[in-house]
Chains A and B, each alone.
Chain A
Amino acid sequence: MPIAYDPLIRLAGVSKVFHTEEVETHALSAIDLEIRAGEFIAIGGPSGCGKTTLLSILGLLDSPSEGSYVLAGEPVMSLDQAQRARVRSRAIGFIFQAFNLIGDLDVFRNVELPLIYRGMPAAERKRAVHEALERVGLLHRIRHYPAQLSGGQQQRVAVARAVAGRPLVLLADEPTGNLDSKNGADVMGLLEELHREAATICMVTHDPRYAGRAQRNVHLFDGRLVGGDPLHREVA
């Protein structure tokens, strides 16, 4: 993974306010966060604290109401939807809790999907897909459909999909949340292996066992960042 920017991600004063009918909900308030290239960071916190909103903003799926966001040296706050999509396809890899594979597509096509959106030529795509699947140990399942795979295998395919395009950062939202402990441990092992190979990983989890395997932990509570280093800081 290329390491050319320091920090890779810089959030400054980021807030997110949702307006629903007459209710105003502050999902995030004045978040300042820097993530260095090659860092493995875990974002923890109770349900509804804003973890997923923060990940959505990091992944350019959502925009903050206030504050600035610089990704790889580029301010991405003012990008339009098409530019955001372009950045997502090139710079960000997503791993979801519910795997989010597309049921109508086989394993190959699922992994290939972000590469198509990136505009990668077919031969290059094929090579990248094979490499990614080999890395997660599922090359032999390349023509299977998601429904034919176990939960752990599906999440490994999702990891392959996330890394196939060699993104700048991997965003993982509760990647072990839908898995039993063995499969959860396998997926965590995979993320650690990717991190060892210099991948930048930002993982949302509320499981202290997996948060502890990250380099750095940050905690969210009521939309505010309440702790960073030292590791394993618990919020009451």
Chain B
Amino acid sequence: MDTLTRDLRFAFRSLRRTPALALAVVASLALCIGATTSIFSVVHAVLFRPFPFADPDGILVVHEIYRGSPGSFSVGNWADVKRDDQVFQYLVPLQRASVNLAVKDAPENVRAALVGSDFFSVLGVTPAMGRVFRSEEARPGADNVVVLSDRIWRGRFGADPGIVGHEIRVDGRPRTVVGVMPRAVDFAITDEELWLPAAFTPKQLAEHDEHFLVVLGRLKRGVTRERAQAELDGIATTLRERFPEANQSRGLSFTPLLDEIVSDYRPRLFVLLGAVGFVLLIACANIAGLLLARSASRAREVAVRTAVGASRGHIVRQVLTEALMLALAGGLAGIVLANWAVAAIVSFGPADVPRLSSAAVDVPVMAFALLVTLASGLAFGLAPALRMAGRLPHEALKEGGRTGAGAGRDRLRSTMVIGEIALALVLLTGAGLLIRSGVALNEVDPGFDPHGVVAGRISLPEASYPTPERVGLAFRQVSEALERAPGIEAAALVSSAPLEGGSSNGLVPEGRPLEIASAIDSDLRIITPGYFRTMHIALLRGRAFTAQDGASAPRVMIINEALAREAFPGQDALGKRIACCEEGVDGRPAFKEVIGIAADVRARGLSQDPSAEFYLPMAQAPAAAWGWLSRSMTIAVRGTLDPAAAGNSRRAGVRTGDRSLPVFNIGTMNDRITGSLAESRFSTMLLSAFGVIALLLAAIGVYGLISHGVSQRTQEIGIRMALGARAGDVLAMVVRHGAALAGAGLLLGLAAALALTRLLTDLLFRVSPTDPPTFAAGVCVLTAVAILAAALPARRASRVDPAVALRND
């Protein structure tokens, strides 16, 4: 203990003697450990933090597998699987919905989920107040109950402690609040604000062909995942045999809930974590370089200590103590910085990253920060410690008393700087690739003109609009009211606007066998006649829908180019017929005539290739479609109004029909496009920032090494000048040293970047992970910066007074 205290006291005194160096080390460490901790905090919150549920790893998402891809369940399939399976303790449905909540006579739309009665048992959570659903409440007519989230209970009901038992109106229907969930459930899986019982009718339970349910499960104790998959395979076979039309090409599988939610974000977050780790490594190399330079000036001190009896271990321990003191100071400051950075990331980061809002510098993150701090201290302290302890004392003592020409170049420091340049090149090329990818995304034509278009969504409650006719009539009234509204250039209703998702249907072109194997998966958009005019989507051939394409008129459809190519390869699709979406009068699938070919739209996101799409006139919408769409439509308005004014305008239009209908998700299409790119832009921005920091650190590394080298070689430079070297020769010699370091670093960096940028493949758009211009730009920037960093000390070197070579008496 005495030894430790003595070492600490001596380390403190020693660092106090060089306050500028100590401050530089602590500041750079604080920045880098702060950045690393911040990114780890996000990674931990999104990818690693267990759900606040009992045995969270046991929660599974069960999928129907259709043509190799996981998808949603039909109600009928869920009911049959639940009935037949022997391995799941719970298997509950979840259907996301938007519901209208009447609060103080003002309609508000909130996110909700219709869930099976065992939903909270799957999660293993108990309510903070009241109870969860009972099994008998999962029956139509008995389902007039609701469980609130903590968030909505506080936000919209003023944390009323007596809320349980009260009646609230959801979608116009009275429901009794039976429970309030604890805060931990907020945003734990998704952003639902309240839960309703999923009460399926016998007709729904017999429906096997409409797939929209998420199914969560938990295995019985002792059941392995292999056995569960085998069981599901058996049930899938039975379902295919019993319902061949609906279940042909369908299987069953499951994935852990955490993987399901975060797997899309894993690559990008790991890239960011790796990048910030690289930055920390570069900083550690720089600090090690500084300490190595300092160790040279302390050689005599160490020699004297050794001469009076200090062992090699003593010296190593002493130097490491100093390094760890610096590391701890930097780490503590870094944790403070990380707190601010995480708050900023949560506030300004992309909204669609799941669980990001729970990112915080909590105990696990602090433990990580401490570990990184200690590792950093060891990383940058070990080399100087071993070097100082390894010096022979008599050499150091002798060197202090005589002049020596030709100070040897520091190979260890050179190697570290080469490594820094290599890592910086990896980061720069990675950032460059993402930036080029972002530029390419910005240049993509989305297929529609988002400028001046405002969109918002309305949802009709089932209680007030129970039949397809009522729903159709209400939306028609909304559409007509919009057309009368002032200041609007064009307006339309669409079942889902671009970037809003949508429902997929199987289409069979006439002439092919009417079976699922022949079906083409295509996204459905139900629209009013003004849709193409409003969105400025080009109609390439044929005509748009008109008011004449009514309910009793011949069934018509417009398809996009992608569907036209797939359905009628090498033929003119116009006038052809396609079966889809509903049965005809004879019970056979109803055919619709293709009356127009529309341009492709990147409806799933700018980075996604256009998929097959088809449009149906709202007046001919299949009756079942309102169920698929939860009786919701998006209003799109083109005009010169700002979003708020347009929102009011649409609200006014909507309210002419029903004053209780709120318009929600209001925003410009431009904002939606920007929002769809937010996560990509955010990570690009972070990676670019890390790239710039790495570049600066590498420049500092080169500068520090060359500058120290020049100081060490002053006499050698003097000798060279005495022997005839001109200032230019000296300048070139020193810059050449910097260029040689840069060259070696760039070669190493190119090899590393070629290997590592492949990890970015899934994050890139129209840019190869080995894009030559990006690599060339990275090399040029780093070369220029390294040479500039070397040029500053080189200039100093070229001004060395050659007479120093003679002043050796």
Do they bind each other? Answer: yes
- A residues sitting closer than 8 Å to B (CB atoms) are 47, 52, 55-56, 59, 61-62, 81-82, 85-86, 88-90, 94, 96-105, 113-114, 117-118, 146, 161, 173-174
Decide: A97 near B809, CB < 8 A? Known: A103-B404, A103-B408: yes
Assess the B723–A94 pair: CB atoms within 8 A.
Answer: yes
Judged by DSSP, the binding face of B is loop
**Residues of chain A lying within 8 A (CB to CB) of residue B404:** 98, 103
Most A CB contacts (10 A, CB to CB) among B724, B725, B803 go to: B724
List 9 interface pairs A-B (beta carbons < 8 Å), by A numbering.
Answer: A62-B803, A85-B725, A89-B723, A89-B725, A96-B719, A97-B808, A100-B722, A100-B805, A117-B725
Q: From B403, B728, B806, give the contact of A55 (CB < 8 A).
A: B806
Instruction: Report how far A90 CA is from B723 CA in the complex, Å.
Output: 9
Decide: A101 near B406, CB < 8 A? Known: A81-B727, A88-B722: yes
A28 to chain B, nearest CB (A): 13
B583 at interface by CB-CB < 8 Å: no
Assess the B719–A114 pair: CB atoms within 8 A.
Answer: no
Closest to B799 in A: A81
Most B CB contacts (10 A, CB to CB) among A59, A102, A161 go to: A102
Assess the B809–A99 pair: CB atoms within 8 A.
Answer: no
Instruction: Report how far A81 CA is from B723 CA in the complex, Å.
Output: 13
Scan residues 380-410 of chain B and give those whose CB is less than 8 A from a CB of chain A: 402-409
Closest to A117 in B: B724
- B residues sitting closer than 8 Å to A (CB atoms) are 402-409, 715-716, 719-729, 801-803, 805-809
Q: From A82, A104, A161, A173, give the contact of B723 (CB < 8 A).
A: A161
Assess the A103–B407 pair: CB atoms within 8 A.
Answer: yes
Assess the B806–A114 pair: CB atoms within 8 A.
Answer: no
Closest to B716 in A: A102
Instruction: Report how far A96 CA is from B404 CA in the complex, Å.
Output: 12
Assess the A61–B803 pair: CB atoms within 8 A.
Answer: yes
**Residues of chain A lying within 8 A (CB to CB) of residue B403:** 98
Instruction: Report how far A88 CA is from B809 CA in the complex, Å.
Output: 22
Q: From B402, B408, B801, give the contact of A104 (CB < 8 A).
A: B408
Instruction: Report how far A161 CA is from B406 CA in the complex, Å.
Output: 15
Assess the B727–A99 pair: CB atoms within 8 A.
Answer: no
Instruction: Report how far A101 CA is from B807 CA in the complex, Å.
Output: 15
Closest to A119 in B: B724
**Residues of chain B lying within 8 A (CB to CB) of residue A146:** 405-406
Instruction: Report how far A90 CA is from B716 CA in the complex, Å.
Output: 20
Instruction: Report how far A47 CA is from B408 CA in the complex, Å.
Output: 31
**Residues of chain B lying within 8 A (CB to CB) of residue A98:** 402-405, 808
Assess the B721–A100 pair: CB atoms within 8 A.
Answer: no
Instruction: Report how far A56 CA is from B802 CA in the complex, Å.
Output: 9
Q: Please give me the 7 A-B residue pairs with the lowest Cβ-Cβ distance, nearest first.
A: A89-B724, A103-B406, A117-B724, A102-B406, A85-B726, A114-B723, A61-B803
Assess the A102–B719 pair: CB atoms within 8 A.
Answer: yes
**Residues of chain A lying within 8 A (CB to CB) of residue B726:** 81-82, 85-86, 117
Assess the B723–A117 pair: CB atoms within 8 A.
Answer: yes
Assess the A85–B721 pair: CB atoms within 8 A.
Answer: yes
B612 to chain A, nearest CB (A): 69
Instruction: Report how far A102 CA is from B730 CA in the complex, Å.
Output: 14
Decide: A86 near B724, CB < 8 A? Known: A52-B806, A61-B806, A62-B803: yes
Q: With A56-B803, A85-B729 given, name 11 new contacts (CB 8 A).
A: A52-B806, A85-B721, A86-B724, A97-B809, A100-B715, A100-B805, A102-B720, A103-B408, A117-B724, A117-B725, A173-B806
Assess the B405–A101 pair: CB atoms within 8 A.
Answer: yes
Closest to B804 in A: A61
Closest to B728 in A: A82
B394 to chain A, nearest CB (A): 15
Most B CB contacts (10 A, CB to CB) among A62, A103, A146, A161 go to: A103
Assess the B722–A59 pair: CB atoms within 8 A.
Answer: yes
Assess the A113–B720 pair: CB atoms within 8 A.
Answer: yes
**Residues of chain A lying within 8 A (CB to CB) of residue B406:** 101-105, 146
Assess the B724–A99 pair: CB atoms within 8 A.
Answer: no
Closest to A56 in B: B803
Q: From B727, B801, B808, give the contact of A85 (CB < 8 A).
A: B727
A44 to chain B, nearest CB (A): 14
**Residues of chain B lying within 8 A (CB to CB) of residue A89:** 723-725
Instruction: Report how far A168 CA is from B722 CA in the complex, Å.
Output: 15
Closest to A48 in B: B809
Instruction: Report how far A173 CA is from B729 CA in the complex, Å.
Output: 25
**Residues of chain A lying within 8 A (CB to CB) of residue B408:** 103-104
Instruction: Report how far A74 CA is from B135 CA in the complex, Å.
Output: 112
Assess the A103–B724 pair: CB atoms within 8 A.
Answer: no
Closest to B725 in A: A117
Instruction: Report how far A96 CA is from B726 CA in the complex, Å.
Output: 20
Instruction: Report how far A103 CA is from B406 CA in the complex, Å.
Output: 4
Assess the B724–A114 pair: CB atoms within 8 A.
Answer: yes
Instruction: Report how far A68 CA is from B180 CA in the complex, Å.
Output: 101
Decide: A100 near B724, CB < 8 A? Known: A52-B806, A61-B802, A61-B805: no
Instruction: Report how far A104 CA is from B407 CA in the complex, Å.
Output: 7
A162 to chain B, nearest CB (A): 9
Most B CB contacts (10 A, CB to CB) among A55, A101, A105 go to: A101
Decide: A100 near B405, CB < 8 A? Known: A61-B805, A85-B721: yes
A92 to chain B, nearest CB (A): 8
**Residues of chain B lying within 8 A (CB to CB) of residue A86:** 724, 726
Instruction: Report how far A59 CA is from B404 CA in the complex, Å.
Output: 21
Q: From B405, B720, B727, give the contact of A82 (CB < 8 A).
A: B727
**Residues of chain B lying within 8 A (CB to CB) of residue A52:** 806-807, 809
**Residues of chain A lying within 8 A (CB to CB) of residue B729:** 85, 117
Q: From A47, A62, A88, A101, give the contact of B724 (CB < 8 A).
A: A88
